Homo-oligomer: A and B are copies of this chain.
Amino acid sequence: MTLLDVARAAGVSKSTVSDALQGSGRVAESTRDRVREVAEQLGYRPNSAARRLRRSSTGAIGLHLPQTATRLDYYMNLAFGAVQRAQEDGLDVVLLAAPAGAASGPLASRVDGLLVIDPEIGDSAVPGLLDAGVPVVTGERYLGPSPTPTGAVVCDNAASLTALLDHVQGRGARRPALLAPEGASAWAEALRGTAAAWGGSHGSQVAVRTVPFAATPADAEAATRRLLASDPAIDAVVCAPDGAAPGVLRAAAALGRTVGADLLVASCVDGVANRGASPPVTAVDLRPAAYGRACAELLCDILAARTPPDTVRRHAWALETRPSTTG
């Protein structure tokens, strides 16, 4: 079932069929309709390999997630959002594993563009991806040296953490603390900077402790115990990493604190762990599916030359207040 078959059936040439179906070229409207109908009826499906060869595009984009992603449902949602958006432009999304360009073929001939989510300095695959010779969109900025400018979709982490701190202050907290992720990601940097700035402008220092980028509840529990032991006046804990807040709740319970009353708890990343906790935990909803969609959309726009390759867009977040801070 090729273009030629359709052409024969419709009594026109393959060029006309191509033009008719593509919407390009000069084709009479009547012919176009007829061709479309014949193609539809014959169940014609363009051969993507031939199309890609001719157009010298691959019809696919690559998606790279942090190695730690294997733990976070956040990235799963993001991935599906990206797939949905890419699909609207007829693009496939191929999942990139650790040794990106190594074993398999060259990236450039396999994808038209790349989505690199939360690129960390320590991730050895990232430089190769940024330098693959295809347009790149990063989710959050890459803080390392970048050979070429890339597009990016960024969250205003400063604003969201500020909102969180303002919120707990509004609920009576006087000495908030932050469990910040380690690592040199844009996210980690922004949180630390914002905590310091907020402390400066509000007169009360924010106590900052470091936990792993992909902290487990156990990590958060241990960090919280140490934190509250060293400074019992802490009356609010903002736990940055996804899924770790339940650990804060456990530590609070163990230390006889009442979450929502004498200890407020919040998280910088919303997720099922926060919604399902007891009490449910106030969090910043980064809306991962929409975020993935936004990244894919930007890349599609860049590929279609609808926007310059170094475009930066913002992604909106929302504060979800729950009993862990509202009592």
Contact = CB atoms under 8 A, between A and B. Distances in A.
B276 A216 contact: yes
A76 B87 contact: no
A17 B127 CA distance: 31
A94 B96 contact: no
A45 B272 contact: no
Nearest to A217: B276
B87 A80 contact: no
Contact of A84 (B97, B105, B221): B97
B93 A94 contact: yes
| Protomer copies | 2
Interface string A209-230: 0000000111101000000000
Given A53-B50, A103-B87, A275-B216, A45 B76 contact: no
A56 interface: yes
A278 interface: yes
Interface in A100-144: 103-106, 108-110
B77 A70 contact: yes
Nearest to A109: B48
A97 B92 CA distance: 10
A95 B83 contact: yes
A72 interface: yes
A309 interface: no
A129 B144 CA distance: 41
A250 B99 CA distance: 41
A87 to B, nearest CB: 5
B53 A80 contact: no
Interface in A166-215: none
A105 B216 contact: no
Given A60-B60, A72-B73, A218-B276, 15 more contacts: A45-B109, A46-B109, A47-B109, A49-B53, A49-B56, A50-B53, A52-B53, A80-B95, A80-B97, A83-B95, A87-B103, A90-B103, A92-B104, A216-B275, A243-B272
16 contacts: A45-B105, A45-B109, A46-B105, A47-B53, A48-B110, A49-B56, A52-B53, A60-B60, A70-B77, A71-B73, A72-B76, A94-B95, A216-B272, A217-B276, A218-B275, A218-B278
